[in-house]
Amino acid sequence: MPDHIIVIHRWSDRYADYASYADHGANRVSYVTTVRAAASLPEGAAAVRTVRSTEDGKAVRAAVASLIEEFGRPARIIALHEVDLDIVAELREELGVPGETPGELAPFRDKLAMARRLAAAGVPVPATEPAPDREAIAAFAAVHGWPVLVKPVRGTASAGVTRLGSPGELDAYVFPSDMPMLVQPYVPDEILHVDGVATGTGLGAFRASRYLNTCLEFTEGAALGSVELDDPGLTKAIGEFTTRVVRALSDGPWVFHLELFLSGVPEAPELRVLEVGARPGGAEVPFLWQEVHGVDLMAAAFALQMGEPLPDVHRAELDAELGGWLLVPTPVARPCRVVAAGTRTDDGTDGDAGPYARRVPVVGQTLADLPGYEHSGARFRFRGRSTAEVETAIRRTIREFDFRCVQVDPDAPERIVLVGSGGRAYREYAFADAAARCEVALVGPAEPTWQSGYLAGHGVVADSGVDALTRAVGACVAAAPGRAGVFTWDEVVLEVTAAAAARLDLPHMSPAAARNCRDKLTTRLLLREAGLPAVGFAHVHDQEEALRAAETLGYPVVVKPRSLAGSVGVLVVHDAGELRGLWHHAAGAAYPGLEPLDGLLLEEFLSGPEISVDSVVHDGDVRPVNVARKRLGFDPFFEEVGHLVSPWRREPWADDLVDMVVEAHRALGVRTGLTHAEVRLTAAGPRLVELNGRLGGDFIPYLGKLATGVDLTAAAVDLALGVRPAATQVRDICAEVRFVYPPHDCVVRSVDVSAAAAVPGVAEVVRLAEPGARLLLPPRGVVPRLAAVIVTGETPDDCRRALDEASELVRAEIEPLTAGDAL
């Protein structure tokens, strides 16, 4: 059996290239991570379990237990982030897995143990004592003087470090709960950091760097920079001192990040240890080593945790180029919103002396309160021929970088940015429902017209790309002081909206999940991989391949494009002759704004009623709330001619339906949003046709509101704002829509719905075709409807009677099209 390797992972950025460290085909590599960090994992994982935080020991243990149940006891458990080393060491000891134990890790994570080990070896360190209470700190200061530093015994990234300058400040200090603290004298010396590898016999590759400002000053709002040193004398002294440090702490190979105090004169530098970690440096250090020096420190750390030899990395292999980095904190407390992030120069560039890489937030981005240097306000990396050159570039960037944020006001009106509009007839009810919930801003390809009465702002974006949409949505968000979100009900822009939301750190279905839903082939593959009830399918590229696949699947088969919408190009064929005769309808199908993708999908025909299921999905919790029974027409083209929402919870298939829908969301990675699933109720149980990552069309959300009282548009807004919707059902009646079609291809001259609207039971009759519209019946046209008749009733029969009467009263004056006109 292949080895099972469990990795605890927390980075959103790609600090580690796990796929190159462990063969994901030859091994079963599984991950415990967060939802935010999951997107940075490689393909080919055996499984991924998500937790709210990898610091939640109970949740991590439960996730690990689940992976062990599925794949067996791990051969190794790996963590590369400093904070995750503790839980991994505990798990190794608990499970009997080889690797560093808590006792072996203690000198690198417990700063008291570290200081005592180094002092015992004669390595200079500041005085360090436990700080359980004010009395202990006061006694320490009486000996060593003020100011002092109080810090967590097992902290990281200077989190929780406090400088106390007097007894009065000590009196006001509030001790963190359940967190052991220590106290040291405040040392005003220059601070260096040294990164590299210890071979077990000596010092391997290393680089010494000088901080520009300090980590403590960074927590107080100052930019933090670092530049590698090119002084050969100082570097030699640092190398000799570092050798003493690494030998005092371990006689084996390890990757280290060492921080030192530097004082004295250049000819005789004096060095003391601030602290040392048995892991690659944080901030931008791993990226600099890979990009400037061609050495992957993460790979070395991974290899050592796997019990493999340290990669052969020696100091001579590092080239002469030097690196540096810069972290810029947010200028106000988080959560905050970015209102400016760029250079102050006119051309928006940094020139030759600027950073070679950057992670800068975009205007409108909401910055949450997340720990760690990775989530700094902005990050930059530099390279150059000398320390002076790199430092000059860093300081210039600090001067030139215009970074402004405003705190999110929890008491200000909330705003939703809607991407895409849809036609007035089909979506005005949704605009009204959204505007009743919060402020609405619209981003679309043209100036708003009928939508204006519902809007608090808008943006016009002609370019359909992610960059342009992100700027337009960001501008609408930046103009709002309160909480904001983004969503769309337009299938055409679902993927690009998901990408823009990800860049802006706004709650939304992930880009990967949106792609999984949009591509019907990917949907099928993921459902099969997850073990959901099988639906036979084949991916075909031409008619002959389709004929062979259909013989294997067995007729009838459904032919459909991979990524279109509105059932366009979807048809059922009963034999080879029909497949040949109708092939061109699917192969040549098009939907404005959507690419058809490569090939077509053939699926086994699912016999049974077709329904749709609307679900509210919040933080992975999937709650189906609305079921609509489809009315289909124009066989074999699956035209949806109506929908009925009626009570469904007591149906014999209800529990199986809920289970299947919940599992389908998990398989496709959908963790947030309002979704619309298409399902067939077959004799063997419910089968998923497709899962759409947006609000349903054809008035289905409106029917749900009439029938149950659940406002799905308001629920979608809540989800986009990061709020769990109540979605409480207050009634359980029926609501149905029937679409009125012309008897043949035509040009519409007029449509009168007044008489139909007066029929008892009718909630609304919506005119769908304007004078002059050309309506082509399927398969030549897309939804060629004259009107929508919407009714309510206690039973389906009540709805049917009202629909029959009202539909007959829709008066349409039409002019037939000849066969030539319809082409």
CATH superfamily assigned to domain 536-604: ATP-grasp fold, A domain (3.30.1490.20)
pLDDT at 202: 87
Condensed to tens digits (0 to 9), the pLDDT of residues 447-488 reads 999 999 999 999 999 888 999 999 999 999 999 999 999 999
Query: In this model, does residue 209 exceed pLDDT 90?
Result: yes
Place of tokens 């790979």: 299
Q: What angle do CA 769, 632, 516 make, to 5 degrees?
A: 95
> Sheet of 571-573: strands edge to edge?
537-540, 600-604, 557-561, 571-573
- The model's pTM: 0.87
Given a contact cutoff of 8 angstroms between Cβ atoms, the answer to whether 27 and 4 are in contact is: yes
Domain at 4-99: CATH code:
3.40.50.20
Confidence of residue 551 (pLDDT cuts 50, 70, 90): very high
Domain with CATH 3.40.50.20 in the chain: 4-99, 415-508
Q: CB under 8 Å to 123, separation ≥6 — which residues?
A: 244, 245, 248, 273
Condensed to tens digits (0 to 9), the pLDDT of residues 12-68 reads 999 999 999 999 999 999 999 998 899 899 989 999 999 999 999 999 999 999 999
Residues in the chain: 823
Confidence of residue 341 (pLDDT cuts 50, 70, 90): very high
pLDDT at 319: 66
Higher pLDDT, 463 or 271: 271
Condensed to tens digits (0 to 9), the pLDDT of residues 719-738 reads 999 999 999 999 999 999 99
| H-assigned helices in 698-808 | 700-708, 712-720, 754-757, 796-808
pLDDT at 818: 79
Which residues share a beta bridge with 323? 383
Determine the 3-state secondary structure of 90 from DSSP: helix
Name the packing angle between helices 57-71 and 85-95 (round to 10°). 50
Confidence of residue 214 (pLDDT cuts 50, 70, 90): confident
Query: In this model, does residue 102 exceed pLDDT 80?
Result: yes
With pLDDT > 90 as the criterion, what percentage of the chain qualifies?
A: 84
Structure tokens, 558 = 């459904």
CATH class entry, domain 415-508: alpha beta
Confidence of residue 592 (pLDDT cuts 50, 70, 90): confident
Domain at 127-185: CATH code:
3.30.1490.20
**Closest Cα to residue 642, out of 676, 613, 615, 610?**
610
Q: Evaluate the omega torsion of the peptide bond into residue 413 and state whether it is cis, within 30 degrees of 0.
A: no
Q: Does domain 607-728 have CATH number 3.30.470.20?
A: yes
Query: In this model, does residue 820 exceed pLDDT 70?
Result: no
Query: In this model, does residue 1 exceed pLDDT 70?
Result: no
Q: What share of the chain is helix, strand, coil (3-state, %, to 5)?
A: 30, 30, 40
Condensed to tens digits (0 to 9), the pLDDT of residues 502-513 reads 999 999 999 999
Query: In this model, does residue 656 exceed pLDDT 60?
Result: yes
Domain with CATH 3.30.470.20 in the chain: 190-333+373-399, 607-728
Confidence of residue 593 (pLDDT cuts 50, 70, 90): confident
pLDDT at 353: 67
Confidence of residue 574 (pLDDT cuts 50, 70, 90): very high
The strand pair at 76-79 and 4-8 is best described as parallel
Domain with CATH 3.30.1490.20 in the chain: 127-185, 536-604
Condensed to tens digits (0 to 9), the pLDDT of residues 352-408 reads 568 999 999 999 999 998 888 889 999 999 999 999 999 999 999 999 999 999 999
Domain with CATH 3.90.1170.50 in the chain: 736-816
Residues 151 and 163: their CA atoms lie apart, in Å, by 9
Query: In this model, does residue 316 exceed pLDDT 50?
Result: no
Taking residues 128-144, report their average pLDDT. 96
For 675, phi then psi, to 5°, come to -115, 160
pLDDT at 569: 83
pLDDT at 347: 45
Condensed to tens digits (0 to 9), the pLDDT of residues 668-725 reads 999 999 999 999 999 999 999 999 999 999 999 999 999 999 999 999 999 999 999 9
Taking residues 265-294, report their average pLDDT. 93
Taking residues 527-553, report their average pLDDT. 93
Interior/surface letters 482-518, b for 16+ CB within 10 angstroms, e for the rest: bbbbbbbbbbbbbbbbbbbbbbbbbbbbbbbbbbbbb
Confidence of residue 346 (pLDDT cuts 50, 70, 90): very low
Taking residues 152-167, report their average pLDDT. 87
With pLDDT > 70 as the criterion, what percentage of the chain qualifies?
A: 97
Mean pLDDT of the chain: 93
| Dihedral angle of Cα 342, 344, 349, 351, to the nearest 10 degrees | -130
Residues 671 and 557: their CA atoms lie apart, in Å, by 32
| H-assigned helices in 540-607 | 543-553, 576-587
pLDDT at 215: 80
Confidence of residue 534 (pLDDT cuts 50, 70, 90): confident
Q: Which CATH architecture has domain 190-333+373-399?
A: 2-Layer Sandwich (3.30)
CATH T-level assignment (fold) for domain 736-816:
Aldehyde Oxidoreductase; domain 3 (3.90.1170)
Kindly state the greatest CA–CA separation across the chain: 102
Given a contact cutoff of 8 angstroms between Cβ atoms, the answer to whether 561 and 589 are in contact is: yes
